[in-house]
Amino acid sequence: MAEVVILPTKEAAGDLVADAIVRLITSTPDAVLGVATGSTPLPVYRSLAARSAGLDLSRVRAFALDEYVGLPAEHPESYRSVITREVVEPLGLDPQLVHTPNGDAATIQHAGADYEAAIEAAGGVDLQILGIGTDGHIGFNEPGSSFASLTRVKTLTEQTRRDNARFFDSVDDVPRHCITQGLGTILRARHLVLLAFGEAKAEALAAALEGPLTASVPGSAVQLHGHVTVVVDEAAASRL
Ligand code: GLP
């Protein structure tokens, strides 16, 4: 059973998770973080950045969950760019130690296996930050994803493309494919920290935490993990 922490604001949630990360890095300076994109984890990164002055983050390693396929890495909305902007630069991480799946179409056939090998070579992820999509996806594991899945190419659902259109000029500019850590990959992380804020996430969160284990709700895979912390606001928790 996951531990569920309900806090009044995103900022309080960000502080709580940042505290856990500070404790991890203090005891393990080369800890491996699993970082997520989307708006949900931003309060965590901001809270961490605010205390990074007194903290040595130079040896921290990180793996992102996912990437669009076919966007140049330097595109401002590629997840490589987003992670650089929101995580690497504000926290002062060593960019060489921060990995994102390679969404370059030319090498996509072995990009999944390469990423799995890199995570394994790092000794696995210590703490994985997760958001949840309104359709219950984690990473970019859309409904129908196997609980055993590893890093691979997926097709984005229309709902996810519409949800993410706000980052692009129009929905037509949102890529149709992505490369994402699988649910099986995510479940190997030693500690999962799932964040959700706002009423729009309430249904997906309740289905993930309290509904049946089902590939229709990829987030329900977290029920299979022995160490899950869920940090949410009251609106996201309203259907629990
Ligand atoms: C995106 C990302 C996920 C993220 C989710 C929710 O598409 N691939 O990793 O958790 O959708 O995004 P947001 O936090 O902006 O609501």
Residue whose CA is at the smallest distance from ligand 1 atom 1: 38
Q: Average pLDDT, whole number, for the chain?
A: 96
What residues does ligand 1 touch, defined as CB less than 6 Å away?
36-40, 65-66, 131-133, 139-140, 160, 164
- Does 238 fall in a domain? no
218 CA → ligand 1 middle, Å? 13
Which atom of ligand 1 sits closest to the CA of residue 40?
14
Q: Read off the pLDDT of residues 128-174 as tens digits, 9 standing for 90 and up.
A: 999 999 999 999 999 999 999 999 999 999 989 999 999 999 999 99
pLDDT score of 83 = 97
Is the pTM value of this prediction over 0.95? Answer: yes
188 CA → ligand 1 middle, Å? 20
Residue closest to 194 by CA, chosen among 184, 180, 204, 181? 204
- Does 229 fall in a domain? no
Residue whose CA is at the smallest distance from ligand 1 atom 5: 133
Please name the residue ranges forming H helices in the chain: 10-27, 42-50, 79-83, 89-91, 108-121, 158-164, 183-187, 202-210
Q: How far apart are CA 104 and CA 112, in angstroms?
A: 11
pLDDT score of 1 = 67
Number of domains in the chain: 1
138 CA → ligand 1 middle, Å? 7
140 CA → ligand 1 middle, Å? 8
Q: Read off the pLDDT of residues 58-90 as tens digits, 9 standing for 90 and up.
A: 999 999 999 999 998 899 999 999 999 999 999
Range of the domain at 66: 3-220
With bands split at pLDDT 50, 70 and 90, how would you rate the model's confidence at 54?
Answer: confident
- Does 194 fall in a domain? yes
- Does 230 fall in a domain? no
Which atom of ligand 1 sits closest to the CA of residue 164?
7
Using CB atoms within 10 A of its CB, is residue 106 exposed (0-12), middle (13-18) or buried (19+)?
Answer: exposed
Give catalytic residues, as residue numbers.
Answer: 66, 135, 137, 142
What CATH number is attached to the domain comprising 203? 3.40.50.1360
